[in-house]
Amino acid sequence: MRLLRGKGQRDDRILHLVAGRVLEYPNPELLQSVPQLRSALGEQPSGPTEPLLGVLDYLAGGDLEVLRQTYVDTFDLSRKHALYLSYWTDGDTRRRGEVLGQFKKVYRESGFLVDTHGELPDYLPMVLEFAAIADPVTGRELLSTYRASLELLRIALVEHHSPYADAVVAVCATLPGRSPQTRAEVMAMAGLDGPPGVESVGLAPYGRTELPLTAVSGGSR
């Protein structure tokens, strides 16, 4: 599949693909792909691409072990920056188990074989790659449905002064309307009245993966 459309016409699939890649746990393959990702963004008009270029600069200029430790500190050791979309709306509740099942159903019905590599199906890098490669329309609908989760994650990362904040800023910029400026605005937009609930339901613990999502149709990609 050729994703590039040429200068002047933004292709959100490119932005979603790059954002999904840079939000993965850093590994040598990711760092080696930075020039290719930068080149893909270079074919797009300015705007949401600018924040992503900043994240690529961060990755290109960092030591792998330091990058990994920063990633773990940011995403694995604090749920304040959870990369799992339904956590922000449903927490660890029985309802969340149903929601995760809905994500799996979406992937199955897309006609693509999605290998989650042990991740929960609402893992943001996985959703972004699904939107970029497997089914852009349905993927965009998923991102729009969980707009509040994305915006809360964006605000949390910005407040943390995280280099990863700009990746989420870029994703939010691909969705309609302006981003809310405060948590209260996000909660009002989503009709939420408080933080996600906590309930012991035996969900798999959050964890990272060093392997990207594999989405294929009738064979390996």
pTM of the model: 0.80
Distance, CA of 59 to CA of 80 (rounded, Å): 22
Distance, CA of 132 to CA of 93 (rounded, Å): 29
Checking if the pLDDT of 199 tops 90, the result is no
Residue 90: phi and psi, rounded to 5, are -120, -10
Distance, CA of 176 to CA of 37 (rounded, Å): 24
Check: CB of residue 5 under 8 Å from CB of residue 11: yes
* Strand residue runs (E) in 3-128: 113-115
Check: CB of residue 123 under 8 Å from CB of residue 84: yes
Checking if the pLDDT of 41 tops 90, the result is yes
Q: What percent of the chain has pLDDT over 70?
A: 78
**Residue-level pLDDT at 202:** 30
- 166: tokens are 């700009």
How distant, in Å, are the alpha carbons of 16, 54, 62, 73, 79 from that of 66? Answer: 25, 17, 7, 10, 20
Q: What's the fold here for domain 12-199? A: TorD-like (1.10.3480)
Distance, CA of 19 to CA of 76 (rounded, Å): 18
Check: CB of residue 18 under 8 Å from CB of residue 41: yes
Check: CB of residue 93 under 8 Å from CB of residue 67: no
Please report which confidence band the pLDDT of residue 166 belongs to, taking 50, 70 and 90 as the band edges: very high
**Residue-level pLDDT at 207:** 35
For residue 49, the surrounding DSSP H or E stretch is helix 49-60
The model's pLDDT over 170-192, given as tens digits with 9 standing for 90+, comes to: 999 999 888 888 888 887 776 66
Partners of 198 in beta bridges: 92
Between strands 214-216 and 113-115, the pairing is antiparallel
**Residue-level pLDDT at 217:** 33
Please report which confidence band the pLDDT of residue 96 belongs to, taking 50, 70 and 90 as the band edges: confident
Q: What percent of the chain has pLDDT over 90?
A: 56
